[in-house]
Amino acid sequence: MVPTLIKDILVSEPDGKNITVCGWVRTVRDSKNLVFIQVNDGSCFANIQLTFDRNNPSDNANADSIEAELKKLNTGASIRAEGLLVPSPASGQAVEVTLEKLTCLGVCPPEEYPLQKNKMSMEYLRENAHLRARTNTFGAVYRMRNQMAFAVHSFFQERGFQYINAPEITCSDCEGAGEMFQVTTLSMEKIAEMGVKAGLGGMKIEDAHKIVDYSKDFFGKKANLTVSGQLEAETLATALSRVYTFGPTFRAENSNTPRHLAEFWMIEPEMAFFTLEDDMDIQEEFIKYLLNWALTKCREDLEFFNKRIQPGLIEMLEHVVNSKFKRISYTDAIAELEKHADKFEFKPYWGCDIATEHERYLTEQIFKCPVMVYNYPKEIKSFYMKLNEDGKTVRAVDVLVPGIGEIIGGSEREENYDKLLAACKERNMDMSNYEWYLDLRRFGTVPHAGFGLGFERLIRYVTGMENIRDVIPYPRAPKLADF
């Protein structure tokens, strides 16, 4: 018999029907004549209680077999159980299962099992990432991650977007920061030998191109893991009107902080015929949709996070959902921040990149609601953003929310060929990798806009988890590529 998921059992009528349960033992409590087993299968936060009554062994033909299997059980053991679904006299649960059959599928030696009953640190659980999903905290994190992914697709599919797949290997750098992981089949040892023969023993890494012949590499040119699927998404938006990518991206940024990952997932929609104002409208709608989904469909897990991880989390999320987002220009935002300059470690000034402390102050102290800051100085934004008439700012927008600061970055894209080409040349970009991108402006160009939302940043926000490494199953960061 196929086992029934515990989340379905817990909402079933306790009508005495026969049911099969599979899962992992959380606790076993033996009180002489009654045995209580708490089992979880990961389908929901709650456990199902299995009971075995020794007072009436004649009523159960498998009593001896059950007794033998009970001796194998410890926390972490996996089981298959069959029994009758009946009302539970215990508080906090409506149903339980009276055992008819029990099989221990996998024993779990208690002295060796890394997940002990005492409180474990997040660092310790990170070292045991292959098992941490069995804890209450990480089971809830991964269920929330699943629901948020489904919500992302639901939002865009309901609005006529086409889901596309951007390549993970690319020869272009969307952000222009140069912090990319190189993809090559060339032997590093042979490259080093070539450097020695060329008399470049003290060669710096940025000078490697002087001796490396990339025409002999797999792709025939220098290639990297992508930092964004945006540029490729733009090509399809100019044919399909509204598209979105949702996939892994990579940054070789040597930042060992609770807010950075080297591998993470990005949600990147691109919309033809959208202006910056249209872009901001859908961004606000998107955030509210996602948070409302978490509040309504993930309530049990969210209540756990609210109680154990971040008190006040639910109230904060509800506040965002029920707020009208404040829209303010970068120039006006800086002016507001300068009034409170003594509050900040990094003093705000026109031309600076707004820091997290500034973002949170805007949302939590000045406006007390989510804030959308738009029209940034062109020097601190990417080459593809549309230049405003003032020649100093671009039509970019960042969405800031209480608790973490920036959660979305987006812009109206530059659709004018000459202006985009000038922006590329101003940054000394290798145009051989961007001719195809410029073609979009040569052949039927249209106003268009888009944005990016880091999926792990979203999960961190809706769970209250402090470290971004704890909202992805296997984090990748400097000196960290375990499992």
Give the list of residues 6+ apart from residue 362 with CB closer than 8 angstroms, or none: 333, 336, 337, 371, 373, 400
Q: Residues of 231-267 as b/e, b for ≥16 C-beta within 10 angstroms?
A: bbbbbbbbeebbbbbbbebbbebeeeeebbbbbbbbb
Could you please report the per-residue DSSP string of 416-474?
A: -HHHHHHHHHHTT--GGGTHHHHHHHHSS---EEEEEEEHHHHHHHHH--S-GGGSSSS
Question: Once rounded to an integer, what is the mean pLDDT over residues 245-261?
Answer: 92
> Which helix (DSSP H) or strand (DSSP E) does residue 243 occupy?
strand 242-250
pTM: 0.93
**Bridge-partner residues for 398, per DSSP?**
373, 409
pLDDT in tens, 15-61: 999 999 999 999 999 988 899 999 999 999 999 999 999 887 666 77
Closest CA to 435 of 413, 420, 450: 420
Question: Once rounded to an integer, what is the mean pLDDT over residues 345-373?
Answer: 97
**Bridge-partner residues for 340, per DSSP?**
none
Q: What is the pLDDT of residue 209?
A: 61
Q: What six digits make up the tokens of 51? A: 């009971």
- Helix, strand and coil percent figures for the chain, each rounded to 5: 35, 25, 40
pLDDT in tens, 107-163: 999 999 999 888 899 999 999 999 999 999 999 999 999 999 999 999 999 999 999
In this prediction, what percent of the chain has a pLDDT beyond 70? 95
pLDDT in tens, 212-242: 788 889 999 889 999 999 999 999 999 999 9
Question: Once rounded to an integer, what is the mean pLDDT over residues 369-392?
Answer: 96
How many whole angstroms separate alpha carbon 86 and alpha carbon 12? 10
Q: What is the pLDDT of residue 174?
A: 79
Tell me the average pLDDT of the chain: 93
- The conformation of residue 387, written as its DSSP 8-state character, comes to B
Kindly tell me the burial class for residue 180, based on how many C-beta atoms sit within 10 Å of its own C-beta (0-12, 13-18, 19 or more): buried
pLDDT in tens, 270-292: 999 999 999 999 999 999 999 99
Q: What is the pLDDT of residue 302?
A: 98
How many whole angstroms separate alpha carbon 287 and alpha carbon 249? 21
Decide if pLDDT at 205 tops 60. Answer: no
Contact 86, 16 (CB under 8 A): yes
**At 207, is the pLDDT very low, low, confident or very high (cuts 50, 70, 90)?**
low
Q: What is the pLDDT of residue 56?
A: 75
What pairing do the DSSP bridges indicate for beta strands 48-53 and 95-106?
parallel
Contact 362, 404 (CB under 8 A): no
Q: What is the pLDDT of residue 105?
A: 98
CA 455 to the chain's CA centroid: 3
Decide if pLDDT at 178 tops 70. Answer: no
Contact 27, 37 (CB under 8 A): yes
Decide if pLDDT at 203 tops 80. Answer: no
Q: What six digits make up the tokens of 23? A: 């899962």
**At 372, is the pLDDT very low, low, confident or very high (cuts 50, 70, 90)?**
very high
Decide if pLDDT at 177 tops 80. Answer: no
**At 172, is the pLDDT very low, low, confident or very high (cuts 50, 70, 90)?**
confident
